[in-house]
Amino acid sequence: MSDFKIEDILNELGVKAENSGTSTGQKNFGSGEVIESKSPVDGKLIAKVTTTTKEEYDEVIKTSQEAFKTWRMMPAPQRGEIVRQFGDKLREKKDALGKLVSYEMGKSLQEGWGEVQEMIDICDFAVGLSRQLYGLTMHSERPKHRMYEQWHPMGTVGIISAFNFPVAVWSWNTALAWACGDVCVWKPSEKTPITGVACQNIMAEVLKENNLPEGISCLINGGREIGEYMSNDGRIPLVSATGSTRMGREVGTAVAKRLGKSLLELGGNNAIIITENADLDATLVGAVFGAVGTAGQRCTSTRRLIIHESMYDEVKTKLKKAYSQLRIGDPLDMNNHVGPLIDTMAADMYEDAIKKAKEEGGTVLVEGGRLEGAGYESGCYVKPCIIEVESHYKIVCTETFAPILYIMKYKDLDEAIAIQNNVPQGLSSAIMTTNMRESERFLSAEGSDCGIANVNIGTSGAEIGGAFGGEKETGGGRESGSDAWKAYMRRQTNTINYSTEVPLAQGIKFDL
Ligand code: UN1
């Protein structure tokens, strides 16, 4: 591993060997079972975290509801000021938190820091937003009446996040929710609970410095049952969940059953269309980073390349060459391109997907496989692989969270767009072309059906300024930029009569 001690990092972030996984701010508790977080980098134990019992969960929600009474009445720009201070603390801790993300999750150090940068950026965004929670005004059909709408805070927002972006996704939700006047209860992934403790510590410090009550930022830990408590809990008006489609379906249906709101950001099966007019050198960077970056564990990772038949052989040759240069190993070593998968179960799933692709008739272009021996002791390191397939294979229509790239041919753009859209997921998509007709077609109503559609950049690495999320089995939610904040507030329409008459709408007469 590179030249820092994990103990120093944990120290700087206030993480102990054994941590309470339940927190309402200054108050830390949690007497449930213990989760041991082991690094996929070297298989070593990082630290332990206790899970949250049902009673403790109830206490957290109660505390958050009390805090909401204070927080919702604080003027939004003042809440923005708290988020600004949180962003500043993140700037101070960027190095340490980025390293911890990299070590606990297994992504490259550059990406670990990048993730913290996303947190900082969304804080800046939310600070500005805190003065821009605009509603519209309308012209009333009645004389001397005024109509307008306001956006009010909703209450306790439940956040369920995934291991692959263990800190950024939390902050996309919290930075906006806090500016909007909501309080937050976060259940991080059981696979990355330590970064959760570290983030909670940072925000707790900010809240303490500002004498704010317990419950504005809460942490809970545990498995599926904790997600179920939140989904079924009528005290939580909004549950925002990021993760697998299987998980999202459970959360979404449970929340819908009680007519609550959910914001789902689930699986992707992202494709790049490489047309005959593509600039191949530019294409390659986007495609290879998209496929192997974060070891293929982004929901925006590139899983499919749909290549024009005239370019197919050339792209294949270039891909083979690029993949032969990939260095796989310790993600904290900046010379490596590809780190480990999150755990050995993920490596099993990777192997299984390759097997299925072969059974369905796929031809391996770049061979995959697990890595063993010195430096690979955790058992989580795998080789990025490329398989030539037909678009209809079952495995090709499934999201496998691993560096497996499926490549296929097309004849005309209609066919390419149909292939790209013909999967259950709808998160991210891209076209590589220098031809304006092709790119505009791809972006039109009959083009990509995804929440994100790019031209001449890959499918992953979205900026925080845009709304992030996708359609179909991706869940339909939008987080982060643009007007995604509206999901965290309730809209109220107000009609004010300043006349001495009481005219009814629609011209209805009702005389007493
Ligand atoms: C995710 O994988 O859940 O666009 C989020 C990207 C990142 C976010 C990915 N900014 O790849």
Distance CA 201, CA 210 (A): 14
User: Which residues form the catalytic set?
Assistant: 265
What would the CATH number be for the domain defined by 270-464?
3.40.309.10
Instruction: Please report the atom of ligand 1 found closest to the CA of residue 300.
Output: 11
Nearest CA owner, ligand 1 atom 3:
299
Distance CA 163, CA 149 (A): 38
Region class of 155: left (phi > 0), else alpha (psi between -120 and 50), else beta: left
Q: Identity (one letter) of the amino acid at 131? A: R
The CATH homologous superfamily for domain 6-266+475-493 is Aldehyde Dehydrogenase; Chain A, domain 1 (3.40.605.10)
Copy the structure tokens of residue 322: 């690029």
- Does ligand 1 lie within 6 Å of residue 299's CB atom? yes
Copy the structure tokens of residue 151: 């956006």
Q: Identity (one letter) of the amino acid at 480? A: S
Distance CA 430, CA 433 (A): 10
Distance CA 456, CA 334 (A): 26
Closest CA to 97 of 84, 83, 116, 78: 116
- Does ligand 1 lie within 6 Å of residue 114's CB atom? no
How many angstroms does the Cα of residue 164 sit away from the middle of ligand 1?
8
How many angstroms does the Cα of residue 307 sit away from the middle of ligand 1?
24
Instruction: Please report the atom of ligand 1 found closest to the CA of residue 428.
Output: 4
Q: What pLDDT score does 4 carry?
A: 75
How many angstroms does the Cα of residue 268 sit away from the middle of ligand 1?
10
Q: What is the pLDDT along the chain (512 residues), one digit of tens a residue?
A: 556 799 999 999 999 999 999 999 999 998 999 999 999 999 999 999 999 999 999 999 999 999 999 999 999 999 999 999 999 999 999 999 999 999 999 999 999 999 999 999 999 999 999 999 999 999 999 999 999 999 999 999 999 999 999 999 999 999 999 999 999 999 999 999 999 999 999 999 999 999 999 999 999 999 999 999 999 999 999 999 999 999 999 999 999 999 999 999 999 999 999 999 999 999 999 999 999 999 999 999 999 999 999 999 999 999 999 999 999 999 999 999 999 999 999 999 999 999 999 999 999 999 999 999 999 999 999 999 999 999 999 999 999 999 999 999 999 999 999 999 999 999 999 999 999 999 999 999 999 999 999 999 999 999 999 999 999 999 999 999 999 999 999 999 999 999 999 999 999 999 88
Q: pTM of whole model > 0.80? A: yes
User: Which residues in 396-416 are b (16+ Cβ under 10 Å) and which e?
Assistant: bebbbbbbbbbbbbbeebeeb
Distance CA 358, CA 409 (A): 17
Helix (H) / strand (E) element for 404: namely: strand 404-410
Copy the structure tokens of residue 51: 């899970």
Contact indicator for 283, 313 with CB cutoff of 8 Å: no
- Does ligand 1 lie within 6 Å of residue 241's CB atom? no
Residue 148 pairs in a beta bridge with 137, 494
CB atoms within 10 A of CB 383: 17
Contact indicator for 186, 174 with CB cutoff of 8 Å: yes
How many angstroms does the Cα of residue 146 sit away from the middle of ligand 1?
43
Do 6-266+475-493 and 270-464 agree at the fold level?
A: no
- Does ligand 1 lie within 6 Å of residue 164's CB atom? yes
Instruction: Please report the atom of ligand 1 found closest to the CA of residue 464.
Output: 10
- Does ligand 1 lie within 6 Å of residue 107's CB atom? no
Pairing of strands 45-50, 34-38: antiparallel
Contact indicator for 342, 297 with CB cutoff of 8 Å: yes
Instruction: Please report the atom of ligand 1 found closest to the CA of residue 242.
Output: 3
Nearest CA owner, ligand 1 atom 6:
461
- Does ligand 1 lie within 6 Å of residue 379's CB atom? no
- Does ligand 1 lie within 6 Å of residue 461's CB atom? yes
Distance CA 283, CA 410 (A): 17
Instruction: Please report the atom of ligand 1 found closest to the CA of residue 162.
Output: 3
Could you give the 3-state DSSP secondary structure of residue 262? strand
Mutation to probe ligand 1, out of 110, 115, 460, 480 (largest number of atoms < 8 A from CB): 460
Residue 355, phi then psi, degrees to nearest 5: -60, -45
Give me the residue spans of the domains in the chain: 6-266+475-493, 270-464
What is the distance, to the nearest Å, from the Cα of residue 420 to the centroid of all Cα atoms in its chain? 22
Closest CA to 171 of 251, 73, 237, 101: 101
- Does ligand 1 lie within 6 Å of residue 460's CB atom? yes
Q: What pLDDT score does 512 carry?
A: 86
Q: Identity (one letter) of the amino acid at 413? A: L
Which runs of consecutive H residues, i.e. helices, occur in 181-222? 193-209
- Does ligand 1 lie within 6 Å of residue 37's CB atom? no
Copy the structure tokens of residue 485: 């904040």
CA distances from 495 to 15, 147, 498, 505 (A): 52, 4, 10, 11
Distance CA 509, CA 512 (A): 10
How many angstroms does the Cα of residue 300 sit away from the middle of ligand 1?
6
Mutation to probe ligand 1, out of 298, 303, 459, 463 (largest number of atoms < 8 A from CB): 298
- Does ligand 1 lie within 6 Å of residue 300's CB atom? yes
DSSP 8-state class, residue 53: P
How many angstroms does the Cα of residue 467 sit away from the middle of ligand 1?
12
How many angstroms does the Cα of residue 483 sit away from the middle of ligand 1?
18
- Does ligand 1 lie within 6 Å of residue 165's CB atom? yes
Contact indicator for 300, 268 with CB cutoff of 8 Å: yes
Distance CA 382, CA 402 (A): 9
User: Which residues in 213-252 are b (16+ Cβ under 10 Å) and which e?
Assistant: bbbbbbbbbbeeebbebbbebeebbbbbbbbbbebbebbb
Instruction: Please report the atom of ligand 1 found closest to the CA of residue 301.
Output: 11
Q: What pLDDT score does 1 carry?
A: 54
How many angstroms does the Cα of residue 298 sit away from the middle of ligand 1?
6
User: Helix %, strand %, coil % for the chain, to 5?
Assistant: 40, 20, 40
